[in-house]
Amino acid sequence: MEKPLTQHIVPSRKPLSLKEYEAVGGYASVRKILQELTPTEVQNLVKDSNLRGRGGAGFNTGLKWSFVPMGPDAPATKYLVANADEMEPGTFKDRVLLEGNPHQLIEGMIVAAYAIQANISYVFLRWAYKLAAKEITRAIAEAYEAGYLGKNIQGSGYNLEMHLHTGVGRYMCGEETALLNALEGKRANPRAKPPFPQVSGLYGKPTIVNNVETLCCLPHIINNGAEWFKGLSRSADAGTKLFGVSGRVKTPGCWELPMGTTIREILEDYAGGMQEGYLFRGLLPGGASTDFLVEEHLDLPMDYGSIQAAGSRMGTGTMIILDDQTCPVGFVHNLQHFFAQESCGFCTPCRDGLPWVERLLLAIDKGEGRPEDMLALEFHTKYLGPGNTFCALAPGAMEPLQSALKYFREDFEQHIVEHHCPWSTVWQPSI
């Protein structure tokens, strides 16, 4: 099984230095595009590879790039931003790449920047990733020293500056326009679209924001071709994917596997199945803002189309497992508490609706819920859904809730009828 993204990542070893990275083929794609390919040819190659964005949306990467103005009439300044603000609960795939092989990200960023003719780039990093910040800083310095960044890269006449920007720790910064506001020193509120960042992004200039895993795929596509990349997959969605599992499984972790690997295979063969004494009840397939899937879905391939057809989203491809000894109400309440805290407050449904949902779930979890609370929760799943809020934060928050009401409704009703959480231990005072 080919694992292009993680083949040189060894957890017990420091990431490759620039010389070590070059020794295993590193930066070959940069030399290739500068010597052999035009920016448009790079865009078309990536478009043909069917590389879909690995941050959750799954949009065709090359097609996204094609919306950037090109040619002599295009703005002289363009930006490329690596979205490394990995704050989706349950998601840790980009951390593996950032800490394990930062030069791979830098090489991918150079490829992407060249494709859109950007001359300034940023790595927008989650504040808590201290080790990643250290390794990226070192790798950027090495790339400058070797002539892969800066003026006249490898004698080609192409210039690219790269900077590390550490975020302040808000989930909202994962939304690309809020990220751009944060880069400009503003509050991380999302922007109205259109205009889209490809036309008017950072400081009003054309900007592309790509996920870390997406960018790390690019050197391998340039070196090996679009058909090779498609051939790595078991489905119509090309390439490999970093899949993760957390929860009460025997070996939680992250693995690079072919796109289209089934949920059951990931859960049982790689995560080792459920821990002794625990049974599987459900999972969120792609981080906290995706709909639950249950036993009947375990043989689905993990790709965008299959998971969407089942009523969820593949998202980041990192599963959160719900077991039979964890309260679904408490599980979902914990997620809604996070989303309510992380709302930027810009639009009323999200600002006021999410705290209301969080309070209702807390009351139900404590045994203080009322039958009419179920109607209120269902109301919110509709009116905080797509098209009713300024960005996707609240609709994403509603996905685990609406699916929990579908698959675990009897658990919610039991809390209300019995006036306590069946999973809680009743505390008795000592006499």
* 351-386 pLDDT per residue, tens: 999 999 999 999 999 999 999 999 999 999 999 999
**pLDDT tens-digit map of 240-294:** 999 999 999 999 999 999 999 999 999 999 999 999 999 999 999 999 999 999 9
Final residue belonging to a domain, choices 296, 323, 350:
323
Q: Which of 270, 288, 323 is the last residue of a domain?
A: 323
Assess whether pLDDT exceeds 80 at residue 204. yes
* 374 and 264 co-located in one domain: no
One domain for residues 259 and 313:
yes
> pLDDT band for position 424 (50/70/90)?
confident
Do 266 and 221 fall into the same domain?
no
Q: Is residue 52 part of a domain?
A: yes
Q: What is the pLDDT of residue 427?
A: 36
* Average pLDDT along the chain: 95
Of the three residues 179, 198, 231, the one that is the final residue of a domain is 231
Q: Around Cβ 386, how many Cβ atoms within 10 Å? A: 10
Domain containing 124 equals: 18-231
With respect to residue 157, please indicate whether it lies within any of the assigned structural domains.
Answer: yes
Q: Tell me if the pTM is above 0.75.
A: yes
- What's the total number of domains in the chain? 3
Do 109 and 151 fall into the same domain? yes
Q: What percent of the chain has pLDDT over 70?
A: 98
Give the residue-averaged pLDDT of 405-426. 89
What pLDDT does 153 receive? 97
* Closest-CA residue to 286 (of 410, 266, 217): 266
- Tell me if 173 is assigned to some domain: yes
C-alpha span between 400 and 408 (Å, rounded): 11
Same domain? For 86 and 203 the reply is yes
Q: Is residue 170 part of a domain?
A: yes
Q: Residue range 163-177: average pLDDT?
A: 91
- Rounded to an integer, what distance in angstroms lies between the CA atom of residue 325 and that of residue 261? 27
Q: Note the pLDDT tens digit of each residue in 205-251.
A: 999 999 999 999 999 999 999 999 999 999 999 999 999 999 999 99
Statement to judge: residues 82 and 148 lie in one domain? yes
SS3 168: coil
Q: Do 63 and 176 sit in the same domain of this protein?
A: yes
Same domain? 222 vs 311:
no
CATH number at residue 337: 1.20.1440.230
For residue 56, pLDDT beyond 90: no
Residue 58 predicted with pLDDT over 90: no
- pLDDT tier at 425, thresholds 50, 70, 90: low
pLDDT digits (tens, 9 = 90+) for 136-155: 999 999 999 999 999 999 99
pLDDT of 105 > 90? The answer is yes
CA 11 and chain centroid, separation? 21
Number of H helices, E strands in the chain: 17, 8
**pLDDT confidence band for 168 (50 / 70 / 90):** confident
